[in-house]
């Protein structure tokens, strides 16, 4: 079936959300399509808020057998019994985190637009490497992970690759043949109907 060849969906939470309403929103999205993983990516560094948010999202993910990882906060992810972490520092801390969390944990690495950082992360034991942003946003240093990077990676490297950051329908259509996952967050949460927006993106992959 053609759908099996499509990139998998990796859902990223908004940087801020209401605990009273977001889990239900997330559940609708998770029930609308097969989802590989969810990332808790709150902007806050408040431990209590992060813990409560992760607990609430876990209640949505685990009955659906969907993996749950947390951005950056390794000790908290470990304490809460999540499936792993998403690191933002390229390859720098992967070896240590892998040792701390063990072989079964998911350890992913965001590597911006750097082929070198991606290769180093893969060699250090990352389960996946994420490149982005793939669209042009006036944030960060302005560098974009171009389609050429994904084409090269998918041909040369076995470590799964995630495309994320400022996705739109055209970029999704371009990258679908050359990425393993799409990391989709604000692109659907800004929409009135996130599940419908996700479905529209999936249609562009075909």
What's the chain's Rg over C-alpha atoms? 16
Q: At 25, is the secondary structure helix, strand, or coil?
A: helix
Query: What residues does 163 pair with on adjacent strands?
Result: 131, 182
Q: Contact, 37 vs 65, CB < 8 A? A: no
What's the longest Cα–Cα distance across the chain? 45
The burial of 104, by beta-carbon neighbours within 10 Å (0-12 exposed, 13-18 middle, 19 or more buried), is given as exposed
- If one counts every other C-beta atom within 10 angstroms of the C-beta of residue 8, the result is 14
Model confidence pLDDT, tens digit, residues 7-66:
999 999 999 999 999 999 999 999 999 999 999 999 999 999 999 999 999 999 999 999
Residue 1 neighbours by CB under 8 Å, 6+ apart = none
The reported pTM is: 0.95
Domains in the chain with CATH codes:
2-191 (3.20.20.70)
| Cα(9)–Cα(34) distance, integer angstroms | 7
Model confidence pLDDT, tens digit, residues 84-130:
999 999 889 999 999 999 999 999 999 999 999 999 999 999 999 99
Model confidence pLDDT, tens digit, residues 170-184:
999 999 999 999 999
Burial 117-150 (b: 16+ CB within 10 A, else e): bbbbbbebbbbbbbbbbbbeeeeeeeebbebebb
Angle CA 180–66–84, to nearest 5: 80
Q: Contact, 46 vs 21, CB < 8 A? A: no
Nearest to 36 by CA among 81, 69, 2, 71: 69
Backbone dihedral region for residue 90 (phi beyond 0: left; psi -120 to 50: alpha; all else: beta):
left
pLDDT of residue 1: 26
């Amino acid at each position: 079936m053609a759908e099996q060849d499509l990139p998998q969906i990796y859902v990223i939470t908004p940087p801020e959300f209401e605990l009273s309403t977001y889990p239900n929103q997330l559940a609708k999205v998770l029930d609308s399509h097969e989802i590989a993983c969810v990332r808790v990516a709150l902007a806050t560094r408040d431990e209590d808020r992060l813990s409560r948010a992760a607990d609430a999202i876990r209640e949505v993910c685990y009955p659906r057998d969907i993996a749950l990882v947390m951005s950056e906060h390794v000790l908290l992810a470990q304490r809460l019994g999540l499936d792993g972490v998403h690191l933002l520092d390229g390859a720098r801390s992967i070896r240590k985190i892998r040792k701390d969390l063990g072989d079964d944990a998911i350890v992913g690495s965001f590597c911006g637009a750097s082929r070198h950082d991606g290769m180093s992360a893969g060699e250090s034991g990352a389960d996946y490497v994420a490149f982005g942003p793939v669209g042009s946003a006036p944030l960060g240093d302005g560098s974009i992970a171009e389609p050429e990077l994904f084409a090269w990676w998918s041909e040369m490297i076995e470590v799964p690759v995630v495309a994320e950051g400022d996705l739109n329908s055209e970029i999704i259509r371009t990258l679908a043949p050359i990425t393993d996952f799409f990391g989709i967050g604000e692109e659907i949460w800004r929409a009135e109907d996130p599940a419908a927006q996700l479905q529209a993106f999936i249609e562009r992959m075909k």
